[in-house]
Structure 1
Amino acid sequence: MEITCLCNFASVDSKEMQRLAPAPLPITHTQHPNWTGGADDLLYVYEDLTIISSDLVHFRVHQARLLKTSSNMFNGLFPSSGAQDFGEPKQDDNLKETEPRSTNDEQDHEEQKLEGDSERTLYLPESGSVLNTLFCAAYNRSPVDASHTSLSDLSLAVAALKKYGVPLETAAAERSFMFSAFASHCASSPSFALEVYVIGAAHAPDLHALAVYASQFLLSLDLSTVSDETASALGVVYLRKLIALHFERVEQFKRQLVCLPQLHKPNVYCGASGGEALLRAWSLATTYLSWAAAPDVPTSSIDRAMTSVMEMLTCDTCRVSLRNRFQNLKQEWAHVKKTI
């Protein structure tokens, strides 16, 4: 009977077999040859837990690593006894400390799992993208490209980090995967930067640094377009910080226009006034710049203002003085604080 079944199975077309076969489930391992910080202690330790996301992405992780990172036993899903020190990982007596795990060891481990099935399986309601961000924070590792993570997934990942007790302040620290992902969205458009700013404000003080970083991309934002819903999500403190940033930069720019260009002694080109034309040119330029003052005045606008009045001057000394004053203005403006 068994032979007959095998023969019948063999007669099935190979393409039909591929069509009928179930699609393989994606599996993500925590082990990676390019670990960054905090991963060397897991070089010889096998994963003892498989976590499956809502979209059936599999993550093989170390229960003790998650417990060590979490402040609430991973939302109470793990026993506290599962936490252990990875300072001296288990390894074979004949295996040198500097040697990586061999392919045969991995095959033996897979066979042992099939025989004993000692690994636990845990299903979580979050998506694979959200859990990937969570585990990157727990293991202090960074994917190759952080820009592929959507802003909505990052927002959900922040909620997941709080839910499972992973510290937000360290998870979103500068140079971390999460911070890099948020930064890529900030650079894409002011609307995305505003969303990042809202996330940072909503989870302050843990994500205060993220809100500070995002604020520099909001200088071109028209504050009158901020919806009541967004303003409510920001809260009074961070909404006031953003308004103050815009106001202070505009006032600082106007104050920088007060200083006059350097005058020179009277000569045959300027007459007895010794630079009256220079002062008129500067006054016209600064009148326009004061009217156009904004938190994000570009240097190109300053250059255009200079060019528009430069033709009024026939004295080379006045031209040099005016050009130097505009150059100083651009340098001063570049050093004005750009963040909350």
Structure 2
Amino acid sequence: MDYFDFNMEIPADGADAMQLNIAGEGGAAQRTPASRLRIRRMTVFSAETAATSPMSSSITSRPTLSSSPPTRSTSTSTATASSPPPATPSTASSHPRPPPDDGSTQTMPVPEPSDVLNVVVHAIYHIPVAQFMPPFETVSAAFDALVGYGASVQQLAAPGSPLYILVLSQAPLRPIDAYALAAHYDLIALATPISAHLLAYTLSSVTDELAARIGPIYLKRLFFLHHGRTEALKALLLRPPQGHEPMRDCDVIQQQRLTRAWALASAHLVWDARPNISINMLQAPLLQLERELSCALCKQALRDRVSVLVREWASIKVTI
């Protein structure tokens, strides 16, 4: 993608609409409404394209406005646009005159590379851009460019938008970077689903630069997510299987063996516990305790307790 073509009408907006003086028959001045004004085709070149493009010599700083006066019924009368006022030296440099009406394409240089500009334009016009699979560095630079152009990233990256989907697609491969990007621009709706990919992330590896980009609020939320899930796992493992009434083949002493075995297995799980521990890794060492039991009621109590533990662990919050 080397450039973009824009050919849009300027809508009339009350008293602020742009108008041109049209000299009609008899010298009477007429007003052409702004709805008849059109912006001629404007080509936007990226910095890397403008340096090599043969059209870079015709670059101007603003689009050309032209009017389409209405056709008069008298064949002898013609409508011509009144000549614009002469430019003063103070305004000639900041407001150059439009190019001649020769059908040429106006160009406008931009400093962003073409891949970054591609993401920017697609985001502004709400066009899907994930199919281009840009690298994360390009996506991050596009956010900076959007802010530089005065666009609201909170609106452009709203849930369901193309920019939202693009950043979310980067989360599996670059979770901490995607989270830092969302946190830097205070995009809570985007940071929340990304945080689910950070359960296996080692928080001690967060650098000072990364922590500064994330900010204290979102960094605290990430730490609390890890800490909260670890503490919840400890609380769930504290409850051993429920005992039953003493029997001839299984008295209180036999049931205490199950309680001690549960406590030992739980201690091993908590020692190596991580916020992203899977259900299989959680229930496998606990179900192995059944091999040491001979009482059918104790075995059933163990299976019931593990089943409840799995359901409770699956219900623990996995996002900030």
Normalised-by-shorter TM-score class: 0.5 to 0.7
TM-score (norm 2): 0.67
Letter in 1 for 2:118: N
Q: Indicate whether 1:52 and 2:45 are aligned.
A: yes
Going from structure 1 to structure 2, the CA distance change for 1:297 and 1:29 (only over 3 Å counts) comes to: farther
Q: Indicate whether 1:127 and 2:107 are aligned.
A: no
Instruction: Tell me, yes or no, if the aligned pair for 2:46 and 2:114 is still in contact at 8 Å.
Output: yes
Deviation per CA, 1:16-75: give whole Å up to 9, x if none: xxxxxxxxx7566789xxxxxxxxxxxxx9983321223439xxxxxxxxxxxxxxxxxx
Q: Indicate whether 1:279 and 2:259 are aligned.
A: yes
1:231 aligned partner: 211
Letter in 2 for 1:178: L
Gaps of 5+ in 2: 8-37, 51-60, 66-100
Going from structure 1 to structure 2, the CA distance change for 1:303 and 1:272 (only over 3 Å counts) comes to: closer
Q: Indicate whether 1:327 and 2:307 are aligned.
A: yes
2:139 to 133, 154, 159: 154
Q: Indicate whether 1:164 and 2:149 are aligned.
A: yes
1:141 to 112, 118, 127: 127
Aligned residues: 245
What is the SS of the residue equivalent to 2:283?
helix
For 2:136 and 2:305, the matched residues in 1 are separated by 43
Gaps of 5+ in 1: 1-24, 32-44, 58-76, 83-114
Q: Indicate whether 1:317 and 2:297 are aligned.
A: yes
Letter in 1 for 2:49: L
Deviation per CA, 1:52-110: give whole Å up to 9, x if none: 223439xxxxxxxxxxxxxxxxxxx769x99xxxxxxxxxxxxxxxxxxxxxxxxxxxx
- Aligned identity (percent) is 31
Deviation per CA, 1:163-190: give whole Å up to 9, x if none: 11221012112222222222222112xx
What is the SS of the residue equivalent to 2:273?
coil
For 1:26 and 1:200, the matched residues in 2 are separated by 29
The offset of 1:116, in angstroms, is 4.4
1:186 aligned partner: 171
Letter in 2 for 1:50: T
For 1:244 and 1:232, the matched residues in 2 are separated by 17
The offset of 1:237, in angstroms, is 2.3
Letter in 2 for 1:283: A
For 1:314 and 1:274, the matched residues in 2 are separated by 9
Structure exhibiting the larger radius of gyration computed from Cα positions? 2
1:270 to 250, 254, 261: 250
For 1:331 and 1:49, the matched residues in 2 are separated by 60
1:295 to 275, 296, 306: 275
For 1:28 and 1:270, the matched residues in 2 are separated by 81
Instruction: Tell me, yes or no, if the aligned pair for 2:129 and 2:163 is still in contact at 8 Å.
Output: no
